[in-house]
Homo-oligomer: A and B are copies of this chain.
Amino acid sequence: MKENIMGSPVVPVAPSRGRLRPLGLDEVRVTGGFWARRRHVNATVSLDHCRDWMERVGWLGNFGSAVEARRGREFADSDVYKLLEAMSWDGEYDVPAPLVEAIASFQEPDGYLNTAFGRPGQQPRYSDLAWGHELYCYGHLIQAGVAQIRARGEGELAKVARRAADHVCATFGPGGIEGVCGHPEIETALVELARATGEQRYLDQAALFVDRRGHGTLADPEFGRAYYQDDLPVRQATVLRGHAVRALYLAAGAVDVAVETGDEELLAAVVRQWERTVARRTYLTGGMGSHHRDESFGDDYVLPPDRAYSETCASVASVMLSWRLLLATGEPRFADLAERTLFNVVATSPSDDGRSFFYANTLHRRRRGTLPPADAESPRAESSLRAPWFAVSCCPTNVARTLALLPGYLATADDQGLQLHQYADAEITTGGIALRVGTDYPSHGRVTVRIDRTPDHPWTLSLRIPAWAQGDTALLTDPDGARRAVHPGTAEITRHFRPGDEIRLDLPVSPRWIAPDPRIDAVRGTVAVQRGPLVYCSESVDLPGGRDVDAVRVDPSVEPADGPDDTVVAPGELAAPGAPHDAPWPYGPVDPAAPPAGERSGIVLVPYHSWANRGPSTMRVWLPTTDPRGRS
């Protein structure tokens, strides 16, 4: 580490170098709109909901319980830590001291801390690096500790985290166990602790873990070593592969190491992997991971909408990765993907009331499901509706910490000025600059930036023009009222701003048809609708006559139009209820005649993030077209 950077702003990621400087939760306040509503529910409902569930299923009680009374899967500790991280970022929330005390008391004198391993009657420490998740749990503990250091000042939780990190360095450092964890996460956490404390050894250990992976030190599991990225060294890989959350956490950690060590080769390797992953292995929603079996990326272009796994945690991890790449490079494409993922996956997972969550985020639901019981753990990641808790419940706490730190993803600064990456009602104060952002985004495209305080010299306000605006006109109005067209990428205004200056950005959020790359076989012959950053879907509750969404055909030769309340009306047809009837065998001769036309209808579409909030339904994002040719 070049320097002790304690006293950095209240941010999850504080690189000591890189293109952009993050702004902290003490510098950016979200004051209204889409994200403020969700952050309010998160702070006032979801944090308690997660704590209550973990109390109920015994995960909190594991710290201090007897071996035979321990509850939950081997990684249950990590969810406690993720919740503590979320609570720490949230300035309003009292982090429960007795819980932190219990964790601290449970820690062994040498820093070891895990409720599932190491005690008499349990498997020995580090006897199962592939599946035991011990280092993974430290990772989340350390992230919680960093949150405490930055948001609350060094306290007990931070001390526990440091002792654990010291133990990791002593145990897995040079001369120690030459292994890695089956689930990456410790890497990014150790770098952040190095940043927060100035301790070089944490960074060194993270770099060691990154370089150690990919050499087949973990057993070859049924899914193959790519499952935990142990098939290829990070520097040699060309695409993200294997378990999506693992792959994305590892990539985030590799970026952190690359930035702190000035390792351009490593950074370029991750950028290359990100590029191919985005071009070939990412859903329209930004979701990643198409296999249910191993929660993994599929091969290139394997993106089935009906079997989309698109785990909520993978979306959290993807935003983490994109944010690190944005800070390192300043390139808006990383903020583009983060925006898409935040609005369409992170925002989709929690219910409106903040008490239930999607684990997997399918893009096509064929059967109306039944409501999961409100008072039971869901044994399944794949539920038809949001569930209050899961046997493996990584997603709710990951959503909670992401919403808690979300203001940190909105803006950055550099020597030239200030950059706005995500648009929300917000107040930003940093250095000599204070400004307010006012917007109804993403419902409407107007974003107004009002300068309240400014240094008495010229500086640059940068605004991301989203890639989704391509082909349409975005307009930027400067404080003098001069308007100009701006294009996807970055628009800048450099001037000697005065308090009271207003800058206005008008983004073209009218709905538009989106077609997939022809290599994505699973959605051939279909189109989707996007409006601004929001992906839309057809949901059966909006269809007349009790139809399911498979009755929908749309006509992309006519533009979709805005409907009331953020809906979109898409031109199309509805098949008669119940049609078509089954043939005994669903394959037959190519029929050159047009299929019978359905009833012409405007199809009401709703934002994907809002689906399944009105009871059991069927849903699809990709809609077949009214192409008259063939049977398809």
Contacts and interface: CB of A to CB of B under 8 A. Distances in A.
Nearest to A303: B586
A583 B470 CA distance: 13
Nearest to A553: B518
A319 interface: no
A333 B275 CA distance: 50
A511 B168 CA distance: 65
Interface stretch (A442-450, A495-503, A624-632): A624-632
Given A279-B582, A364-B521, A587 B516 contact: yes
A contact patch SS: loop
A586 B516 contact: yes
Interface stretch (A23-31, A133-141, A179-187, A588-596): A588-596
A630 B625 contact: yes
B514 A588 contact: yes
A528 B587 contact: yes
Nearest to A304: B304
Contacts of A470: 588-589
Contacts of A585: 278-279, 467
Nearest to A550: B519
A135 B292 CA distance: 29
A353 interface: no
A515 B222 contact: no
A299 B522 contact: no
State how many copies of this chain the complex holds: 2
A293 interface: yes
A275 B630 CA distance: 25
Contacts of A522: 304, 306, 521-522
A544 to B, nearest CB: 20
A391 interface: yes
Interface string A380-402: 11000000000100000000000
Contacts of A280: 582, 586
Contacts of A515: 587-591, 630-632
A368 to B, nearest CB: 11
Given A302-B307, A379-B220, A515-B591, A586 B520 contact: yes
A222 B624 CA distance: 32
A605 to B, nearest CB: 16
A177 to B, nearest CB: 24
Nearest to A584: B279
A411 B516 CA distance: 50
A291 interface: yes
Given A292-B293, A304-B304, A515-B632, A590 B556 contact: yes
Interface in A513-534: 513-528
Interface string A255-285: 0000000000000000000011011101010
A221 interface: yes
Interface string A595-631: 1000000000000000000000000001011010111
Contact of A279 (B222, B223, B583): B583
A366 B517 contact: no
Interface string A545-558: 00000100000110
Interface in A202-227: 220-224
Interface string A301-323: 11011110000000000000000
A584 B222 contact: no
Contacts of A520: 586
Given A293-B292, A302-B366, A524-B526, A221 B379 contact: yes
A305 to B, nearest CB: 7
A603 to B, nearest CB: 16
B516 A333 contact: no
A333 B584 contact: yes
A625 B550 CA distance: 22
A550 B280 CA distance: 14
A367 interface: yes
A176 B380 CA distance: 32
Interface of A: 220-224, 275-276, 278-280, 282, 284, 291-293, 298-302, 304-307, 333, 364, 366-367, 379-381, 391, 467, 470-471, 512-528, 550, 556-557, 580, 582-592, 595, 622, 624-625, 627, 629-632
Given A280-B586, A284-B587, A514-B587, 11 more contacts: A222-B380, A224-B379, A275-B584, A291-B307, A299-B367, A513-B589, A517-B580, A517-B583, A521-B523, A522-B522, A524-B524
8 contacts: A222-B391, A302-B366, A513-B590, A515-B632, A521-B523, A522-B522, A524-B526, A528-B587
Q: Which 9 A-B pairs have the closest CB atoms?
A: A517-B586, A525-B525, A293-B293, A524-B525, A292-B293, A515-B631, A279-B582, A515-B590, A513-B590
